[in-house]
Structure 1
Amino acid sequence: MSAAKASLLFLPSAVAATMAAWQVQRMQWKQDIVDEATRNMEQQPVDLLQGTAPEFRRVAVQGTYDHSRTAFVGPRPLSYEPKDPAVKLGMRPMLVTPGALKSGFLLVQPLTSSDKQHTVLVNRGWVPPHWKAQWQERFAALQPVSSVSVTGVVQGSESPSSFVPRNDAQAGDFFWVDVQGIAESFNLPPDTPMLQVLVDETSRTKGEHPSCSEGVYPLPKPIANVVQFSTMPLGHFNYAVGWGCMSATMAYLAVKVLRKGKR
């Protein structure tokens, strides 16, 4: 067998090995991002109004919500399983209805700072679908009216796929997070920042959990879920192992074919 033909036998193995190496690179890149986010999250929050915070650094702001201006972004499912027993208990009535959790919304409201000099947008978290339908007549009156202190991270606009409908600010229909669009719909400057509220599910500290006499909503995103990829580092590790095993198997078969050809 010629050298050219022999090399072709190892081509599938080489391709699989290249894919394994690429998966390892992707795994390391994403793991570095997760590690950086974890380190930043462990630091004390900085004042959102004092300047730009580093990526994944927790920020804090104190002020009052304006419940007359509210945006419901969605529909979208709850992207994580709550660990807090109280949260699970409050969601139990919804869980008995098939599909009840498939069409919730993110609740976004303006928050005016205590000195009345600044206004920011706050993504308070996930609420069930009936909140949007009954907001004015029921749920708006249940929200906190006094000054609150919220902690989270600065949130940017989402990049929707071609399948997501366009937002209609005039109609109040927001299907994806558009920070500038939501700010302008509230008659706020387009560069108004948005804070995404976070909750540490391992902590029972007062003020870090949803406060509403109706139940456990809105549900802020857990700190552990801030950095999410469609494929997490562990997934890339599993893919790398799969490609590596495939490469080794193909190389073994190529060697067997070469040895058989020499007989």
Structure 2
Amino acid sequence: MSASPARRAIVIASICTAIGVAIAAGLGIWQLQRLAWKQDILARIEQRIHADPVRPDALDQQIQRGEDVEYTRVKVRGYFDHDREIHIYAPGPEGPGWQLVTLFKESRGRLYFVNRGYVAESRLADAARPQGEVDITGLLRPYNRRNAFTPDNDVTGNTWYWYDYEAMQRYVYETWQQRNAVNIFPDVIEQEAVSGMYPAGGVTILDIPNNHLQYALTWFGLMLALIGVYAVWLLRQLRER
């Protein structure tokens, strides 16, 4: 093997290997940064879901300061309006059923959508529908959006598959004029489970994946494998010279 082609092959291989190593290392470091970011989010969620619930005044102050309030525990006093109860399809421990979303009129006048929990389809009529002034506690969650596989909501039949915030407002109020005259809070309250109460509250799923460490190790492993392959190849090239 002539010196010039061999040297050229080594240079090209070295450049390609260096580029590959840099990319793999960069992606591995990026995944470690994402890991730290995700761990911070999970720690904040864990702190919020176990914190004492905040009242509407304190919640308003957090929002005015521009703070993120997702997963914040809140406690509000007011009245449920069961006249336009929204049924969101949901499988559950008793089979197909619904999550009941009900308009809640807080004592100060603010309106919330409250996800009261799961009820089996066969027991929909058995669900408790509290009357009069009550206190509720729950977690604030943004309205989930549909994905490519989510069916269309059947608003007329009150069969929903996802939170369509605008359609929900139209559903609970007969006209746009009425809807525009009120302020429905932009996050839903997912009510906590209440002992002996049906529907079964506490529908929040906190199983948030955190696979960034595995991704980082994968990229660093590929980087080391690339270096190893290059080293073996380079030694063979040098021995042949």
- Bucket of the pairwise TM-score, normalised by the shorter protein: 0.7 to 0.9
Unaligned stretches of 5+ in structure 2?
Answer: 1-6
Deviations 1:192-217 (A, max 9, x none): 02442354xxxxxxxx52543xxx53
State how far apart, in whole Å, the 1-side matches of 2:82 and 2:126 are. Answer: 10
Are 2:9 and 1:24 equivalent residues in the alignment?
A: no
| 2:117 aligned residue (115, 125, 135) | 125
Q: What is the Cα deviation at residue 49 of structure 1?
A: 6.1
Q: Which residue of 2 aligns with 1:58?
A: 73
Deviations 1:116-149 (A, max 9, x none): x343211112333434xxx3xx225x43334332
- In the alignment, residue 251 of structure 1 is paired with which amino acid? I
Deviations 1:87-129 (A, max 9, x none): xxxx4xx3xxxxx3xx4432101123346x3432111123334
Q: 1:237 to 1:126 in 2, by over 3 A?
A: farther
Q: Which residue of 2 aligns with 1:220?
A: 202
State how far apart, in whole Å, the 2-side matches of 1:239 and 1:219 are. Answer: 35
Q: What is the Cα deviation at residue 246 of structure 1?
A: 2.1
Q: Which residue of 2 aligns with 1:47?
A: 55
- In the alignment, residue 4 of structure 1 is paired with which amino acid? I
- In the alignment, residue 23 of structure 1 is paired with which amino acid? Q
Q: Which residue of 1 aligns with 2:82?
A: 67
Structure 1 vs Structure 2 CA RMSD? 2.8
Unaligned stretches of 5+ in structure 1?
Answer: 79-90, 95-99, 200-207
**Secondary structure of residue in 2 paired with 1:163:** coil
State how far apart, in whole Å, the 2-side matches of 1:247 and 1:7 are. Answer: 14
State how far apart, in whole Å, the 1-side matches of 2:14 and 2:149 are. Answer: 47
State how far apart, in whole Å, the 2-side matches of 1:121 and 1:198 are. Answer: 10
State how far apart, in whole Å, the 2-side matches of 1:15 and 1:67 are. Answer: 57
State how far apart, in whole Å, the 2-side matches of 1:71 and 1:32 are. Answer: 35
Q: Greater CA radius of gyration, 1 or 2?
A: 2
Q: 1:238 to 1:5 in 2, by over 3 A?
A: closer
State how far apart, in whole Å, the 1-side matches of 2:149 and 2:140 are. Answer: 26
Whether the aligned pair in 2 keeps the contact of 1:46 and 1:60 (CA below 8 Å) is yes
Are 2:105 and 1:112 equivalent residues in the alignment?
A: yes
| 1:33 aligned residue (38, 41, 47) | 41
Task: List aligned pairs for 1:192-203, cutoff 5 A.
Answer: 192-193=184-185, 194-199=187-192
Q: Which residue of 2 aligns with 1:153?
A: 139
Whether the aligned pair in 2 keeps the contact of 1:210 and 1:220 (CA below 8 Å) is no
State how far apart, in whole Å, the 2-side matches of 1:189 and 1:118 are. Answer: 13
State how far apart, in whole Å, the 1-side matches of 2:179 and 2:195 are. Answer: 28
Size of the aligned set, in residue pairs, is 217
Structure 2 length-normalised TM: 0.75
Whether the aligned pair in 2 keeps the contact of 1:107 and 1:218 (CA below 8 Å) is no
Task: List aligned pairs for 1:74-93, cutoff 5 A.
Answer: 74=89, 76-77=90-91, 91=93
- In the alignment, residue 232 of structure 2 is paired with which amino acid? K
**Secondary structure of residue in 2 paired with 1:169:** coil
**Secondary structure of residue in 2 paired with 1:69:** strand
- Write out the 4+ residue segments of structure 1 that deviate beyond 6 Å after TM superposition: none
Structure 1 length-normalised TM: 0.69
Q: What is the Cα deviation at residue 42 of structure 1?
A: 4.1
| 1:139 aligned residue (120, 126, 138) | 126
Identity of aligned residues (%): 22
Q: Which residue of 2 aligns with 1:257?
A: 233
